[in-house]
């Protein structure tokens, strides 16, 4: 395990190893890779391992109970995370997070304003609709009364003046529009 960075808080009482038994999650290495490893053993061992698993080291490959070489997945992930955290530029990340937060806050404020204006407009339109519904009922009632009055007048004229009423109807029906 490498020495802890000066910038990282280090608790000497806390273990830097994973808290789970990583051997339970180890992945067997395929036979082709094992044969490549044995062929390249005369060459530089570290370079062959780097070619097979980028960013790995000898500590990642282990022999376990005569099952052949195994990749310790949790150790590989742990080492990758430690390397990523150590190399991260936190000032840039915080700057980006601040900008993103400002954009989200601005959009949130705009959405709240739009919701408020929509609520006001909805209440205005609702009151206009209710007034329109009342006016519609009044007009419908007035039309019904007018229709009843016209039918009463037509009935009285038909009994009192049948000839004149028929002549007036013929004139109305024979009338040509557009003249």
Tens-digit pLDDT profile for residues 127-160: 999 999 999 999 999 999 999 999 999 999 999 9
Looking at the fold, whether 83 and 96 belong to one and the same domain comes out as no
Report d(CA 171, CA 153) in Å as an integer: 19
* Percent of the chain residues topping a pLDDT of 70: 58
Q: Report how many domains make up the chain.
A: 2
Looking at the fold, whether 75 and 106 belong to one and the same domain comes out as no
Under DSSP, the state recorded for 21 is: -
- From 53, 88, 123, the end of a domain falls on 88
Q: Taking the CA of residue 84 as centre, how many other CA atoms within 13 Å lie in the half-sphere pointing to its CB? A: 7
Residue-wise burial string across 99-108, b where 16 or more C-beta atoms lie within 10 A, e elsewhere: eeeeeeeeee
Average pLDDT for the chain:
76
Looking at the fold, whether 84 and 96 belong to one and the same domain comes out as no
Looking at the fold, whether 63 and 115 belong to one and the same domain comes out as no
What does pTM read for this prediction? 0.37
Query: Does residue 68 lie within any of the structural domains?
Result: yes
Query: Does residue 33 lie within any of the structural domains?
Result: yes
Report d(CA 40, CA 49) in Å as an integer: 10
Closest by alpha carbon to 62, among 104, 112, 28? Answer: 28
Q: Which residues constitute the domain of residue 143? A: 91-148
């Amino acid at each position: 395990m490498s020495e802890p960075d000066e910038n990282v808080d280090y608790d000497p009482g806390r273990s830097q190893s994973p808290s789970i038994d990583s051997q339970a999650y180890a992945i067997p290495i395929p036979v082709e890779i094992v044969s490549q490893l044995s062929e390249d053993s005369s060459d530089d061992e570290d370079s062959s391992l780097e070619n097979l698993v980028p960013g790995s080291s000898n500590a990642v490959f282990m022999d376990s109970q005569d099952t052949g070489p195994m990749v310790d997945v949790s150790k590989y992930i742990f080492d990758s995370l430690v390397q990523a955290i150590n190399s991260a530029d936190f000032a840039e990340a915080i700057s980006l997070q601040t900008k993103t937060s400002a954009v989200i806050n601005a959009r949130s404020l705009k959405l709240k304003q739009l919701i408020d204006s929509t609520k006001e407009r909805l209440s205005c339109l609702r009151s206009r609709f209710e007034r329109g519904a009342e006016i519609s009922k009044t007009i419908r009632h007035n039309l019904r009364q007018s229709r009843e009055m016209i039918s009463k007048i037509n009935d009285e004229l038909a009994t009192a003046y049948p000839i004149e009423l028929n002549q007036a109807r013929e004139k109305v029906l024979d009338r040509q529009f557009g003249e």
